[in-house]
Amino acid sequence: MQKPLRNRIVFTGLSIVLAIVLTAFNGIRKKTVTFTSPDGLQVTADEYIITKGNPYILLFHEQGSSRGEYLDIARRLCKMDYNCLAVDMRNGGNDHFVSNETVKRCRENRCYTGINEVERDMLSAIGYAHEQSGMPVILFGSGANGSLSLKVARENEQVRAVVAFSPGEYFLPDINVQDTLAGMKKPTFVSSSLSEIPYVTRLVSAIDEDYVTIFEPKLGEGTRGSGSLSINNPNQSEYWLALLLFFKELV
pLDDT in tens, 14-73: 444 344 444 444 589 999 999 999 999 999 999 999 999 899 999 999 999 999 999 999
List Cβ neighbours of 45 (8 Å cut-off, separation of 6 or more): 32, 33, 34, 35, 67, 85, 86, 87, 88, 125, 128
Dist CA 14 CA 23 (whole Å): 18
Best CA proximity match to 200, nearest among 173, 228, 174, 219: 228
Give the dihedral of Cα atoms 26, 160, 71, 50; nearest 10 deg.
Answer: 20
Work out the pLDDT band at 210, boundaries 50, 70, 90. Answer: very high
Residue type, 167: P
Distance of CA 246 to the CA centre of its chain: 13
**β-strand 188-191 against 212-215: which pairing, if any?**
parallel
Q: How many residues does the chain have?
A: 251
Write the pLDDT tens digit of every residue in 103-152: 999 999 999 999 999 999 999 999 999 999 999 999 999 999 999 999 99
pTM, rounded to two decimals: 0.89
Between 25-29, 139-143, 184-188, 215-219, the lowest mean confidence (pLDDT) is in: 25-29
Work out the pLDDT band at 94, boundaries 50, 70, 90. Answer: confident
Dist CA 64 CA 218 (whole Å): 29
